[in-house]
Structure 1
Amino acid sequence: MSELISPEILSEIFKFLYTKEEGKINLFNCVLVNRYWCRTTIPILWLDPFSFFDNKMSLDGLISTYMACLTNKERRSLEKQGIEVPKKVKSPSFDYISFLKNLNYDGLISSLFHLGCNDGVYKKNDSFGIMLPALLEILANRDLALQSLELKNHDRRGDWDREFMHLVDRKIRPLIKPVKKIYLDCNVLDARFLPLLSGQCQRVRHLYIVMHVEKSKKGSIICERDATYYAKLIDKQKSLEILAIEKFTKYFKNILPSFKTQIQSLRVIEFINSNFKECESLEVIASCENLERLIFRGCNNLSTKILRPLFNANFSKLKEISFESSERNEEIEIWLQKFNVIH
């Protein structure tokens, strides 16, 4: 009876469930209904596996499943690099690796980290150091057409610079080149990382950048450097549509000029928890005539002077302005009311 629903429609229903709270649990239940539902559900469950781990068993299970999906050629490649590959492994019902579309890099690293971890203590003499680049190369050779990349480096021991540099290695370029969405919330000390990422990922449609807090003079230098590199990442994109910037407290002079290269394509601009004290003007945003959503959430020091270029901008396609800030004065209120009357 369930086969009366086409696989395309069923897939869309399951994707909708996947986005809801406890969606993954609901989809696990769908797998058990029958084979038809199982074949439709599994690719959705495994499109972003490294974002859903909560204990050591699930971490180990992810890697074990991926290892079971390796081809003979891929197994031999790992063995040549000194990585032990289980000999007697039952072939899985699906090639789970082929479903990967969204790569949570921190999740991948955390999964592999347990191969060289004992009671939370990192052991550098274990296979982690060679397993990460080896697995990335396998993924790069799989023609996966990756859609999104999530980059974070929080609350874990290890050599972050080396681990992130593996991702922008020339051999891994086929994996990250097709990416359409990037979430950046990382603090990589190696100055080569962001420029290399900009050179390899130039088809991004959705970019989310989180600036790290300055905790020292050295941290301040790194933040200013990264702001310049973020600007280059924006500048390199062919057609950026959604741009979100979080926790920028300065360096707007570094990043705002890069918006000029995307004024025809930008549809959504969002500032979150940012301080505009050192920003002189948002005139460049006024040039984004195709803008549909403009959001300021939890921002400070958004003065009338900074916002004034937006008051008379020709935003003919704008559907939403969200302004959550303590600096709401009469002139800003008139601007918001004017927009609400028109729309």
Structure 2
Amino acid sequence: MSSVSSFPNEIMQKILKDLFHYNTPYQPHYRDLFNCVLVNRQWCSLAIPILWTDPLRHMDVHSKPCDPIIITYLSTLNQVEKSKLNNMLGSITLFDDTIYNYPSFLKILNLNVFYMAISNFINSLDLKKRKEIFLRDHLFREMFNILTNQNANLKGLLITVDYPLCDLLPTLNHTKFGSLINPIKKMKFEIIENSQHILLFLAKNEYLELWQKTSHLSNQKGTIDNVISLLLNQYRLNGLKIGGFSKGIHQIISSLSNLKSTLSIIQFSHIDFSSCGSMNGLADCENLENLGFYCCENLTKVMWAPLLRTSMNTLEEVILYDTSADCIKEWSKRRHIKVLEDLI
């Protein structure tokens, strides 16, 4: 143990990160890292920032309260702000001080889980219903102030746009929320309802995932219009993944012409292309390096025709996972483009 503890912090940090993600990139080893916190001061100071990069990820907000995380974040407020909060919420127990600046460690934020955790925390205070709604929304905004004031540096954001987030997000401080999400390079955006308001807050991304949650969709045209508006507002988008948009996929692909100089990666997932016409927008993407189709259906030679007339000199590989598309394979082979099949 003494020899391991003598490793430089950079090496120890790499070891702990590898331990955290060992063989489980989607289910990190929180329990193992919790144990590392108890070893000594060095291990604790290195493990805590990793644990708090996405603190709500291992929490089931529906069955397990996230109150300790909310309390810890609120404890970073100054004494004046804590007094105001206690006057509003009643008697809540906050720490006088925190050993670490926990909000600064946050890297991944699921906005809906974050909102649900705050809502459950407010519900646990046994307040009157009207007061609950007001304080829930107030605390949601206050938590964003905490994240920005404590220099949180987000790398990824997941938003499932539904009520009440559609109504609540426009009330956030534009400057602070914008400064929080603008550095984000990877954003996953699940669209349920007409979500025009949220476009005001989306960062100018380098990588964007857009998913349509069809089981909840009530405004098909409004949703497609919002997706197109979102894409048109990007000016540095390098990678794009689109999932589930079977109806409206033709309009979305057509809008890619406006991103032709920046896009180098495009991936389609779980899309039925039967309603799609010619892929002119895709053919216009002059700097495309990677093109992927995952679990897609009904890709035809007619749709692919515009690409037959382009050289696609920059395209290096085409990925076809659980997707039957002989026209794409033939086209790729004639141009000596690598085709990867049945890869995740």
TM-score by length of 1: 0.82
- Give the equivalent residue in structure 2 for 1:78: 85
Are the structure 2 counterparts of residues 332 and 178 from structure 1 closer, same or farther at C-alpha, using a change threshold of 3 Å? closer
Are the structure 2 counterparts of residues 19 and 233 from structure 1 closer, same or farther at C-alpha, using a change threshold of 3 Å? farther
Contact 1:78-1:85 within 8 A present in 2 as well: no
Deviation of residue 101 (structure 1)? 1.9
Are the structure 2 counterparts of residues 37 and 339 from structure 1 closer, same or farther at C-alpha, using a change threshold of 3 Å? farther
Are the structure 2 counterparts of residues 190 and 276 from structure 1 closer, same or farther at C-alpha, using a change threshold of 3 Å? closer
What is the letter of the counterpart of residue 262 of structure 1? L
2:151 to 143, 150, 155: 143
Distance 2:227 2:9 in 1: 40
- Give the equivalent residue in structure 2 for 1:213: 214
Contact 1:74-1:138 within 8 A present in 2 as well: no
Are the structure 2 counterparts of residues 296 and 9 from structure 1 closer, same or farther at C-alpha, using a change threshold of 3 Å? same
2:201 to 192, 197, 200: 197
Deviation of residue 93 (structure 1)? 2.3
Deviation of residue 207 (structure 1)? 0.5
Unaligned runs of 5+ in 1: none
Deviation of residue 166 (structure 1)? 4.0
**Does 1:46 pair with 2:56?**
no
Structure 1 segments (4+ residues) deviating >6 Å: none
Distance 1:26 1:339 in 2: 49
**Identity, % of aligned pairs?**
26
- Give the equivalent residue in structure 1 for 2:170: 165
Contact 1:183-1:209 within 8 A present in 2 as well: yes
- Give the equivalent residue in structure 2 for 1:233: 230
What is the letter of the counterpart of residue 212 of structure 1? K
Task: State the Cα deviation string for residues 215-237 of structure 1 (Å, max 9, x = none).
Answer: 78xx2xx3322222222222322
Deviation of residue 241 (structure 1)? 2.0
Deviation of residue 59 (structure 1)? 1.1
- Give the equivalent residue in structure 1 for 2:342: none
Are the structure 2 counterparts of residues 215 and 95 from structure 1 closer, same or farther at C-alpha, using a change threshold of 3 Å? closer
SS in 1 for 2:112: helix
2:17 to 6, 11, 15: 15
Unaligned runs of 5+ in 2: 340-344
Contact 1:249-1:274 within 8 A present in 2 as well: yes
SS in 1 for 2:311: coil
Are the structure 2 counterparts of residues 341 and 240 from structure 1 closer, same or farther at C-alpha, using a change threshold of 3 Å? closer
What is the letter of the counterpart of residue 314 of structure 2? S
- Give the equivalent residue in structure 1 for 2:39: 33
Distance 1:84 1:175 in 2: 29
Deviation of residue 85 (structure 1)? 6.2
Distance 1:87 1:149 in 2: 30
Contact 1:231-1:256 within 8 A present in 2 as well: no
Coordinate RMSD, CA, aligned: 3.2
Task: State the Cα deviation string for residues 8-46 of structure 1 (Å, max 9, x = none).
Answer: 333334334434424323322332332212211211110
Distance 1:338 1:25 in 2: 51
1:92 to 85, 98, 112: 98
SS in 1 for 2:183: coil
**Does 1:174 pair with 2:182?**
no
Task: State the Cα deviation string for residues 65-122 of structure 1 (Å, max 9, x = none).
Answer: 2222323244245357x2346356353321211211221111111111112436xxx9
Are the structure 2 counterparts of residues 310 and 231 from structure 1 closer, same or farther at C-alpha, using a change threshold of 3 Å? same
Are the structure 2 counterparts of residues 163 and 214 from structure 1 closer, same or farther at C-alpha, using a change threshold of 3 Å? same
Q: Write the mapping of 1:243-282 to structure 2, written as runs, cut at 5 A.
A: 243-282=240-279
Deviation of residue 251 (structure 1)? 1.6
Contact 2:108-2:154 within 8 A present in 1 as well: yes
2:331 to 318, 335, 342: 335
Contact 1:293-1:319 within 8 A present in 2 as well: yes
Are the structure 2 counterparts of residues 74 and 85 from structure 1 closer, same or farther at C-alpha, using a change threshold of 3 Å? farther
